[in-house]
Amino acid sequence: EMEAKKRALEEEKRRREILEKRLQEETSQRQKLIEKEVKIRERQRAQARPLTRYLPVRKEDFDLRSHVETAGHNIDTCYHVSITEKTCRGFLIKMGGKIKTWKKRWFVFDRNKRTFSYYADKHETKLKGVIYFQAIEEVYYDHLKNANKSPNPLLTFSVKTHDRIYYMVAPSPEAMRIWMDVIVTGAEGYTHFLL
């Protein structure tokens, strides 16, 4: 009988050790998962606010066209945008503010008026909206895919203003890069954002 008790105790001890070991493994596994999750969150947070590549330019004699060319863009081969010393024009697809539908709009970036306006079409008669330079804080590629069902996520970029984020889709990768470099030059709200 004593032998049976001893065996039962040994068995109980072995079972406990197995459970203890399993618990340690699970705890270690959970810790690894938590650390992984924290790293992912930190990475997402870091990606959530990508910095714009250039600071806004206030100079009166600033030549937009030569600035864009100096940034490495070949304007002549990108027929989607038309750039002069003071303006940039072209079609972009914009997501609506209240109703999240995507509509093609004719955009005009005007350094003289210090506005980024959009119209129903290229005749520029039906003004649909105006974004003032003072309101533009940031311009960045929408790599987190925040835009609601974008017609082309790879060509989607964001223009962040004081009160909303405008999501836009460019007709080509080069057009997207040009528009982003152009709009940043008017991001005068960027200074408020730094304060």
**5 and 42: one domain?**
yes
The string of DSSP codes covering 40-97 is HHHHHHHHHSPPPSS-----TT--HHHHHHHTT--GGG-TTEEE-SSEEEEEEEEE-S
**42 and 132: one domain?**
no
Q: Is the pLDDT of residue 124 over 70?
A: yes
**112 and 141: one domain?**
yes
Residues near 67 by beta carbon (within 8 Å), at least 6 away in sequence: 57, 181, 185
Q: Is the pLDDT of residue 173 over 50?
A: yes
**70 and 26: one domain?**
no
Per-residue model confidence (pLDDT) at position 51: 45
Res. 5 pLDDT band, cuts 50 70 90: confident
**101 and 183: one domain?**
yes
Question: Which tops the pLDDT comparison, 33 or 120?
Answer: 120
Please state, in angstroms and rounded to a whole number, the distance separating the CA atoms of residues 157 and 187: 15
**35 and 78: one domain?**
no
CA-to-CA dists, residue 157 to 135, 142, 160, angstroms = 17, 5, 10
Per-residue model confidence (pLDDT) at position 193: 46
**79 and 170: one domain?**
yes
Q: Is the pLDDT of residue 67 over 70?
A: yes
Q: In this predicted structure, which of 27-36, 76-85, 104-113, 130-139 has the lowest mean pLDDT?
A: 27-36
Res. 45 pLDDT band, cuts 50 70 90: low
Task: Name the phi and psi angles at 95, rounded to 5.
Answer: -85, 135
Whether residue 77 is contained in a domain is answered as: yes
Structural domain harbouring 40: 1-48
Whether residue 133 is contained in a domain is answered as: yes
Per-residue model confidence (pLDDT) at position 172: 94
Work out how many domains the chain is built from and give that number: 2
Q: Which domain CATH number covers 143?
A: 2.30.29.30
Whether residue 58 is contained in a domain is answered as: no
Whether residue 56 is contained in a domain is answered as: no
Whether residue 53 is contained in a domain is answered as: no
**73 and 155: one domain?**
yes
Per-residue model confidence (pLDDT) at position 195: 43
Total residues found in the chain within this entry = 195
Whether residue 59 is contained in a domain is answered as: no
Summary mean pLDDT of the chain: 86
Res. 142 pLDDT band, cuts 50 70 90: confident
pTM greater than the 0.85 cutoff: no
Residues near 93 by beta carbon (within 8 Å), at least 6 away in sequence: 102, 103, 104, 105, 151, 168, 169
As given in the structure block, the two tokens for residue 71 are 């940034």
Per-residue model confidence (pLDDT) at position 50: 44
Question: Which tops the pLDDT comparison, 165 or 49?
Answer: 165
Per-residue model confidence (pLDDT) at position 58: 74
CA-to-CA dists, residue 25 to 11, 28, 63, angstroms = 21, 5, 64
**129 and 179: one domain?**
yes
**111 and 158: one domain?**
yes
